Amino acid sequence: DLLLEARGIGKSFLGIAALDGVDFTLGRGEIHALLGENGAGKSTLIKILTGVYTRDQGAMRLDGTDVAPASVADAQSLGIGTVYQEVNLLENLTVAENLFLGRQPRRFGVINRAEMRRRSIALLARYGLNIDVDALLSSYSVAIRQIIAIARAVDLSGKVLVLDEPTASLDAHEVDMLFDVLRRLRQDGLGIIIITHFLNQVYAVADRVTVLRNGRLVGTRELADLPRLELISMMLGRELQHITG
């Protein structure tokens, strides 16, 4: 049951191909890791999927409909939300204000401040967060702020969530907390794309992996059937005996 389908995606910068004929699919209720060495094209691919860049070649379907996100806001309204490494929330606003920033959440309609507060509490409860929504965002840890950003992105978009290196500044306990949130969203049928350099994390949370190398697709595999050394050799483009000596 495919949620997102990208075929033959190509993108060049100044005549140099960053992506060349890349296919990528994401299922409903799937956590999909995107892997590859530095410069492989991971960020370029997710920037195309999330409307930061437009593609030069290829096609993209979301829920069976051809789409070409022209901006981040456009991708968001189509159902594709993203949370970047540097969470783009406002430190000096409260949690509730951040959740309602620049919009009336689509499910909520026009509401007053008390209602905004009540609904923020309800929204965060779905993520296992029981926090003071009137406190400034800056009073919370990076991990909590990230979950708030995810809650906001999912509320705005609702189909696909894209996370580029979300665990970079989290400790082990916080990574567990984040992954619990992702599993909960998976259960709700969301498709999640995650970039992380930590293979332990890939195996801990992801269902499937797509590997890129030098702007091309190496392959896509279910992680349950993929030995770790084989994944590493896919990423490096070398046979295992050359890695292990």
Binding region for Mg ion (CB under 5 A): 38, 42-43
Say which entry of Mg ion, ligand ADP, none residue 40 contacts (CB below 5 to 8 A, set by partner kind).
ligand ADP
Strand partners, 195: 164
Pairing mode, if any, of strands 65-66 and 57-62? Answer: antiparallel
Note whether 129 and 147 are within 8 A (CB): yes
- Specify the 3-state DSSP secondary structure of 63: coil
- Residue-wise burial string across 59-97, b where 16 or more C-beta atoms lie within 10 A, e elsewhere: ebebeeeebebeeeeebbebbbbbbeeebebeeeebbbb
Within 10 A of 200 (CB to CB), how many other CB atoms are there? 11
At closest approach, how far in Å is the CB of 113 from ligand ADP?
41
Strand partners, 49: none
At closest approach, how far in Å is the CB of 30 from Mg ion?
21
Asked if 41 is part of the footprint of ligand ADP (rule: CB under 6 A), the reply reads yes
Of residues 3, 24, 43, 218, which one binds ligand ADP by CB under 6 A?
A: 43
Say which entry of Mg ion, ligand ADP, none residue 18 contacts (CB below 5 to 8 A, set by partner kind).
ligand ADP
Q: Rank residues 13 and 198 by Cβ distance to ligand ADP and give the closer one.
A: 13
Asked if 15 is part of the footprint of ligand ADP (rule: CB under 6 A), the reply reads no
Structure tokens at 190: 């969301």
Which 16-35 positions form the footprint of ligand ADP (CB under 6 A)? 18
At closest approach, how far in Å is the CB of 224 from ligand ADP?
24
User: Strand ranges (DSSP E) for 48-187?
Assistant: 57-62, 65-66, 80-83, 160-164
Of residues 39, 128, 219, 237, which one binds ligand ADP by CB under 6 A?
A: 39
At closest approach, how far in Å is the CB of 41 from ligand ADP?
4
Q: Which residues bind ligand ADP (CB under 6 A)?
A: 13, 18, 36, 38-44
